[in-house]
Structure 1
């Protein structure tokens, strides 16, 4: 399905965030000194913290605060049998077309104009569409033969299905319950692009929620609402989010219902997360292929059944990108433009920045002690270079909620100035009360 364009989309914001990401160390092209490697990015000192915070916020909501979901970290490499049973070897494909005029390749279902090449503008030059498998294959072991073929997982889900019985037994759970996983996945995308939105290597946050068949629809509706609320709770504006049910012709072969949480990106509405009712397809397929039972016996009712599965699946980097877009703001302050990322405190790469007013040792030494006391509890930045105003602006662009300035008065009164990112208000706080003050202000 082509991207849903919207007159409210801000196309200029894309380049702004890409430039900010590189300049401030969120993300930049991988292997850039060698000319880069298409569709791969490295996440810098600030970006790696943002990604970690997105994952931790997801894990907190999906596992830590729930009694009915447990975690798993399954292997990245899998034998062909897993992907044959799941249907990926046969059907994990996208329609591929080539432009006869310029030689570029495109994903047919993402073309805005199916008769016009977006690269060269030529019309009626596409080849017939053919199915392209998105799986990355490799060789496991010292001999490269058919028996050594393995695949990099294109989703984390299959590990949770294959390990269903082991997890259910060892965790002492019964349906309805979920298995959650965060990890790297790999897809040989035909047309990666839009910065980190679509890449060939990325991280997923997926949860498989196993339920009695009769309860599947109710749980699908429940998880659609829960997952939409998660983004709102972390600061995304409601008017930039929507829940879009898939049309019948969009549904995967295993899905009876799927809805996407969509975000208004600079190019229009596009997917942040999918919530699918997968039925019993996966457990049944792996049970049949392996010969092992992947079902549940309810001792209370005497019923044996194969659970149905509701799957919320989100991309870590895609979510982080959307949070950056949603948080970006500018305002005039004393005749100058201030750029600020109004990230939720849980997502902000640094929660606090410690800034000695000068580089004189009588300020830097105690300021580092303040840093040490805060860094036991929070991720803290320390910066003693440039004028204090420039350092405030840098922290605003990084999304740091609070700045703590140790000045010459601090030597005498044992207090520091705490500046709020959003309001720029400053208050004086005793150093021995600082950790409590920051904790309360951030709500963490």
Structure 2
């Protein structure tokens, strides 16, 4: 796993070396858009999910959990609109070759009198200017100064940028946005990405037989007709995998209300796998074909939905920041109308400043009664809540967070480098300053040497006591004590406990802090209680 950005490369290498994340089917060349979690990565993911459950269900009076099927009836996605309009528009910069989500660029309508394209070097600027003059906008007036290529804009229409030309105006087709970074208007025709993925019992051989039979049975049919016949046949034998978890909650709302006897407002939450047919995956585990979502659906009365969406976005931003080291790297961004999903009237994204730029980790969307009414109309039975005096169709405000994206965000947030003057092989070494509540390993216990049975015995017993107290604990006696400290700094372990000669003579252990590297003695009889108290404190301390 090699990436252009040094920080991203360092994080991904550490994640693999320390057993957080591995590429799927590595020995067979890997599978695009799919990764697997190792021992530490699984614990980190579970700890983040546990904190999310606390915030949405276990600490809430009106929060309830559900767990729905990955495969729903195909009509569900027709009714919800996902089979037609779900996904993001992606494009490619014709100058740089880079692919990106269309709405990440600067809006064309904000262009002033000059269009300035930014190249990474003078040599590249000259190369781009030649491409523009020969292929993309012949006859347009272009001026190069340093790394900037400047073109005069005469006007902007809904579909074209009108540039000043040598023999009159030059019309350049635009798609509403400029490429981020380069500010190039020369973009490939956008394509939808993130549509439905399918699963089924149809083998490649059976699909080929179906195709041959359709062609033989419809001799002379047009290409479009053959394509439609094969698509219909494929849909018969394959079911869509859910691109989101939410639709089950809307379908089962009546059953849930009857079972819990709860008045509005209340929320339903679930964590589970989702699948999307992404055309461009990455970087690393940010955008995947198979991923895990944390979704919470807040059902409430109609007139409260707009205010609730705003309050929820503030609450969710606070949650993300509560587990972060660099809190300001998380921010909320209100989406423009053009960027909204088909079911939302307004939405706010929680974004994290990743090494390559700011990207969404969670979205809070006001879905109003769109989904409930859509399913109700599909089977002619729209859900209405009756409170004794009136009847209404509840609205839904949804928060949808990516669990894999949370793992990546907190790995990037926690990654740091520490001076290692005593290490002759390198000047700096990595450390993961993970928040105590999500750190995979809470405590590491070592005997200072492995060849003294009395120290080994005490260390093993102490590690067992920590586990019995509910703290995930690792025991190690391999390598020098300094190397073990370095290993657990990379794993993100907040505290290491060393059993040494003072344990025998004075009844104390050495407690070493990951963040400060300070080593302090503590009575062996007190250390378990002290760390249990530390981890049970619901504060913002990361160590």
Distance in 2 separating the partners of 1:243 and 1:96: 22
Instruction: Give how far 1:317 is off.
Output: 1.0
Matched residue SS, 2:258: helix
Higher RCO (C-alpha 8 Å, min separation 6): 1
Q: Is the 8 A contact 2:85 2:342 kept in 1?
A: no
* Residues 298 and 240 (structure 1), Cα distance of their counterparts in 2 relative to 1, 3 Å cut: same
Counterpart position of 2:430? 339
- Decide which of 468, 472, 475 is 1:382's aligned counterpart: 475
Counterpart position of 1:278? 367
Counterpart position of 2:181? none
Counterpart position of 1:365? 457
Distance in 2 separating the partners of 1:72 and 1:342: 33
Matched residue SS, 2:521: strand
The question of 1:260 aligning with 2:349 is answered yes
- Decide which of 80, 85, 92 is 2:86's aligned counterpart: 92
* Deviation per residue, 1:348-380 (Å, 9 max, x gap): 010001111111232222211111111121111
Counterpart position of 1:315? 402
Counterpart position of 2:281? 192
Counterpart position of 1:151? 240
Q: Is the 8 A contact 1:196 1:317 kept in 2?
A: yes
Instruction: Give how far 1:63 is off.
Output: 0.7
* Residues 240 and 99 (structure 1), Cα distance of their counterparts in 2 relative to 1, 3 Å cut: closer
TM-score, normalization by structure 2: 0.73
Counterpart position of 1:7? none
Distance in 2 separating the partners of 1:285 and 1:353: 53
Q: Is the 8 A contact 1:374 1:435 kept in 2?
A: yes
Q: Is the 8 A contact 1:91 1:133 kept in 2?
A: no
* Residues 423 and 312 (structure 1), Cα distance of their counterparts in 2 relative to 1, 3 Å cut: same
Distance in 2 separating the partners of 1:434 and 1:406: 12
Q: Is the 8 A contact 1:106 1:190 kept in 2?
A: no
Question: Larger Rg: 1 or 2?
Answer: 2
The question of 1:423 aligning with 2:484 is answered no
Instruction: Give how far 1:294 is off.
Output: 2.0
Distance in 1 separating the partners of 2:194 and 2:276: 9
Distance in 1 separating the partners of 2:496 and 2:94: 57
Count of aligned positions = 430
TM-score, normalization by structure 1: 0.89
* Residues 229 and 111 (structure 1), Cα distance of their counterparts in 2 relative to 1, 3 Å cut: closer
The question of 1:204 aligning with 2:293 is answered yes
Instruction: Give how far 1:38 is off.
Output: 1.2
Q: Which stretch of the first structure deviates more once superposed, 289-298 or 388-397?
A: 289-298
Q: Is the 8 A contact 1:96 1:105 kept in 2?
A: no
Counterpart position of 1:181? 270
Distance in 2 separating the partners of 1:310 and 1:98: 33
* Deviation per residue, 1:27-53 (Å, 9 max, x gap): 121100111111111111111111001
Counterpart position of 2:306? 217
Matched residue SS, 1:436: helix
Q: Is the 8 A contact 2:326 2:413 kept in 1?
A: yes
Q: Is the 8 A contact 1:94 1:107 kept in 2?
A: no
Counterpart position of 1:306? 393
- Decide which of 343, 349, 368 is 2:440's aligned counterpart: 349
Instruction: Give how far 1:166 is off.
Output: 1.5
* Deviation per residue, 1:325-347 (Å, 9 max, x gap): 11112232555534321111111
Instruction: Give how far 1:147 is off.
Output: 4.2
Counterpart position of 1:66? 60
Distance in 2 separating the partners of 1:424 and 1:96: 46
Counterpart position of 1:243? 332
Matched residue SS, 1:25: coil
Counterpart position of 2:415? 328
Can you give the 5+ residue segments of structure 1 that lack an aligned partner in the other structure?
1-9
Distance in 1 separating the partners of 2:536 and 2:434: 13
Instruction: Give how far 1:141 is off.
Output: 9.7
Give the CA RMSD over aligned residues. 2.9
Distance in 1 separating the partners of 2:281 and 2:199: 21
Q: Is the 8 A contact 1:96 1:106 kept in 2?
A: yes
* Deviation per residue, 1:45-70 (Å, 9 max, x gap): 11111100110011111111001110
